[in-house]
A = this chain, B = another copy of it.
């Protein structure tokens, strides 16, 4: 499936095929940037349940998956959306009401866990977390871990440096590899066989994709293979690592996509309002997710002119002077 075949699929078909109830999922992007939001909304729309989600600092995407009732367990470093939600609200509610089991790691630890999965090793070492409760306190207990073959028996482990004081380190934290069943990414460009070009910061998207059994890429523009291959150094993923390609303009909206559009501050502020109230949030889901057939219909619901207001300046990559109060 990861060969050089044509991998174009509809988002509905890709999610139906690869995202199953209870599967282990990771999504690309960071807080309010390049989250695969169209895919997130489609997962909620298809009422996927019991997902085990891995993220480093995905704010909006993870919060909406939680709000949509899709997530049972979460391994994460940071659940916030910058100024728009210092702590993601649906995430916070789910944890405080005991509906969501969480395992905390640091941001680098989560990145290394994806990197270990991508490299095909069971763990990677890091000096972060020594002396903290990230090492001591486990969200998933040993019993739960032993019972589930899809989880490592330990959250992490601390070892003495087997090379003595080499590199001035006496102890290391070893963090276990993550190999999600599916990783969802949104990129600026992809070709039919799945070679991907991300412009701007790649975050940990590349490691998250390579660690996964299946990779779904939504993209702003479907381009010819020749266009990407004229500059191989600008591409982040070869077609060999991708299973489905979904051309989807504004697929990261309401989060940003460098060079194409900014995050939508009005949407994110409105979302915060909905998220704070159960009834309002149900109304939000009914209108913006279940009430629409697909992402285009969702975009059509936005106030006239709003999508133009967040259009990115081609040079700067974001919407210059956008009112973000």
Give the B-binding residues of A (Cβ under 8 A). 116-117, 120-127, 152-154, 157, 159, 161-164, 166-167, 169, 172, 174, 176-177, 179, 199-200, 233-234
A90 to B172, CA, bound (A): 41
Docked-complex contact A154 and B159, CB < 8 angstroms: no
In angstroms, how far is the closest chain B Cβ from the Cβ of A177? Answer: 5
Q: Inside 8 A of A163's CB, which chain B residues have their CB?
A: 122-123, 152-154, 157, 174, 176
Docked-complex contact B162 and A159, CB < 8 angstroms: yes
Q: Inside 8 A of A116's CB, which chain B residues have their CB?
A: 167
Docked-complex contact A157 and B162, CB < 8 angstroms: yes
A125 to B153, CA, bound (A): 19
A56 to B321, CA, bound (A): 49
Q: Which chain B residue has the least Cβ–Cβ distance from A201?
A: B233
Q: Inside 8 A of A154's CB, which chain B residues have their CB?
A: 162-163
Q: Inside 8 A of A122's CB, which chain B residues have their CB?
A: 125, 161, 163, 166-167, 169, 172
Given known pairs A127-B121, A159-B162, the reply for A233 and B199 (CB within 8 Å) is yes
A132 to B138, CA, bound (A): 38
Given known pairs A120-B127, A122-B161, A123-B125, the reply for A152 and B166 (CB within 8 Å) is yes
In angstroms, how far is the closest chain B Cβ from the Cβ of A159? Answer: 7
Q: Inside 8 A of A166's CB, which chain B residues have their CB?
A: 122-123, 152-153, 176-177
A157 to B159, CA, bound (A): 14
Q: Inside 8 A of A164's CB, which chain B residues have their CB?
A: 152-153
Q: Which chain B residue has the least Cβ–Cβ distance from A164?
A: B153
Given known pairs A122-B167, A125-B121, A167-B120, the reply for A174 and B200 (CB within 8 Å) is no
In angstroms, how far is the closest chain B Cβ from the Cβ of A197? Answer: 10
In angstroms, how far is the closest chain B Cβ from the Cβ of A234? Answer: 7
Instruction: Identify A121's interface contact among B120, B157, B169, B200, CB under 8 A.
Output: B169
In angstroms, how far is the closest chain B Cβ from the Cβ of A189? Answer: 13
Q: Inside 8 A of A174's CB, which chain B residues have their CB?
A: 162-163
A179 to B166, CA, bound (A): 10
Q: Which chain B residue has the least Cβ–Cβ distance from A123?
A: B163
Q: Inside 8 A of A233's CB, which chain B residues have their CB?
A: 199-200, 234
In angstroms, how far is the closest chain B Cβ from the Cβ of A2? Answer: 19
Docked-complex contact B123 and A124, CB < 8 angstroms: no
In angstroms, how far is the closest chain B Cβ from the Cβ of A260? Answer: 15
Q: Inside 8 A of A152's CB, which chain B residues have their CB?
A: 163-164, 166
A172 to B154, CA, bound (A): 17
Give me 25 A-to-B residue pairs in the complex whose CB atoms sit less than 8 angstroms apart, sorted by A's number: A117-B167, A121-B125, A121-B127, A121-B167, A121-B169, A122-B161, A123-B163, A123-B166, A124-B125, A152-B164, A152-B166, A153-B163, A153-B164, A153-B166, A154-B163, A157-B162, A157-B163, A162-B174, A163-B176, A166-B177, A167-B176, A167-B177, A167-B179, A200-B233, A234-B234
A161 to B121, CA, bound (A): 10
Q: Inside 8 A of A234's CB, which chain B residues have their CB?
A: 233-234
